[in-house]
Structure formats: structure tokens, C-alpha cells
Amino acid sequence: MTTLRGWDPDVVLLQEMAAPSGVIAGLHAHLWRTANELGMTPLLGPPGPLSVTGNHPAILVRTSGGLTILDAGPPLWPSGGGPFPSWCHALLRVPGIPHPVAVYSVHLPARSADEQRSQAQRLASVIAQKGEIAIAGGDWNSFPRIGAALRDLEDMPPHLRPPRMRTRPGPGGVIELEPSYDVDDILTGTGLSDAAASLPPERRDPADLSGTSIYDNGRIDRFYLTPGLPGAAERYIQAETGGSDHHALLLIISRDKASAIEPGEPAP
């Protein structure tokens, strides 16, 4: 909270909103306490697929700063009995930008590569179909192609390896591990850009594309931007807060530059 108050953001994307005691009845009270401390309006997403702790993604919006919430989702109940989407989204009217801006708070499952790919495919398809100006950020529990695995996969805790690796036979029949970039490839394959990787080092803090958790398990927390937005990105900052095993990430977008972006045509 200290870091967020210092940054004074317009929008906050949260990935692990849960009742502190683990009792679901306290979830909304905890959400509102968090939002009230920052003077923001909260939006709660569905429970995370395969989550054993009842985590939800959420979005906080500073409506007092002129932002207007036009829509929120996804629907609480999926059609067809499939798993819930692993994201929360809000459609915002931002002063100075003539077109609505969509923001997505994403938390892909940590234990299943198949579920990660499925969720990434669904999200990338949704964003591309809508043709919207969009920012998707959160914990992807997977590696990007740029600044990906920052240490040997053999050194990573075994329970974290399966969804983040591929295997292949090496010399003498030894199984070799290599990082999987499937999620990043799915997202960038539909035209999304890795925001931090799109910025030059002098506009990043730290300048290197470093790991985003205290365990140095790779750059698993990232922002992705639809076409046009990378040119409007001004600065990227990540900071260890002491309140989480993940770093907090800050992305600053120029409203003037974003105002010139034309959204794509929605697909039927």
C-alpha cells in the first residue's frame, strides 16, 4: 500500500485478492478496504481456475480523477460449463483519449501448461476480436522470449517447473530442460507487445529485464499492449515492496500519445 500510494496510479491490476482469513464471506469487505485506502473504486473478477486459496483478480480505478467505468467483466458464470476466465477486465473512458481503453488483470494458473495456453488463447482472441485499445497485465506464471528464464531451470523448485518448461532427450539419454514461451508466443502472435521489452533501457527501472519476484523465477509478471500503445508508453518501473513475493510493476502511458491511437474494427 505504501508503494501504491507513492505511485498514485489511475488504475491498479490485482491478481491475488482473497479474504485474509480464507473465508469467502470476507472477500468483498477486504476488497473494499483495499480500494478505500487508495480512494479507488473496485471491480472483482471470478475465482482463479485451479486456485486452491480462493484467489480472484481485481481492478481498482480512480474514478475521482475523471476516469469513468463503462463496463466490467467477465460474466461471473461461464457458459457451457467451462472454467472461469483467469482475468478481470474493465472498459474505461479516460479523459483526453477519444476511444475507450480496456484493462485486463490476469492471473494464469501456476500448475498447468495446458490451462495456461487455453486461457492465453481465450484472452488473446477476445482482445483481438474486440479490436480495442487494451492493456493486459498481471502474473502470467510463464516466461517471455525476451528476458525469460533468468536462471537454470534445474535450480527452480520442482513444483514450479512443469508449466514453464519443455523437455528433450540430451546426450546419453539425459533429459534436458528448456523454457517454454507458449503463452508469450500466443499473445504476441495476435499483435500484442511486451511493454517492458518494447521500451529502451533508459526508460526502465531497473534498466535490465530482470526477474519480477523475490525468488528470481523469471520475468513472469508483465504488461502486454495492443498496437499503438507501445509508442505511448513512457516509463516502466518494478519495485520490491516487502508485502508480496512478487514485485509491483508500474507502467506510465502518455495520454497525449494514446489519444492519437485508432482502435481496430471489431470482428463478428
Query: Is CATH 3.60.10.10 the classification given to domain 2-148+180-258?
Result: yes
Environment class of residue 138 by beta-carbon count within 10 Å: exposed (0-12), middle (13-18) or buried (19+)? Answer: buried
In a structure prediction context, what are the per-residue pLDDT tens digits for the chain, which is 268 residues long? 999 999 999 999 999 998 766 566 688 999 999 999 999 999 999 988 766 667 899 999 999 989 999 999 997 666 666 788 999 999 999 999 999 999 999 999 988 999 999 999 999 999 999 999 999 999 999 999 998 555 567 777 888 888 888 888 878 776 788 889 999 999 999 999 999 999 999 999 999 999 998 887 789 999 999 999 999 999 999 999 988 899 999 999 999 999 999 999 999 8
One DSSP character per residue, 214-258 reads TT---S-EEEEE-TTGGGGEEEEEEE--SSSSBPEEEEEE-HHHH
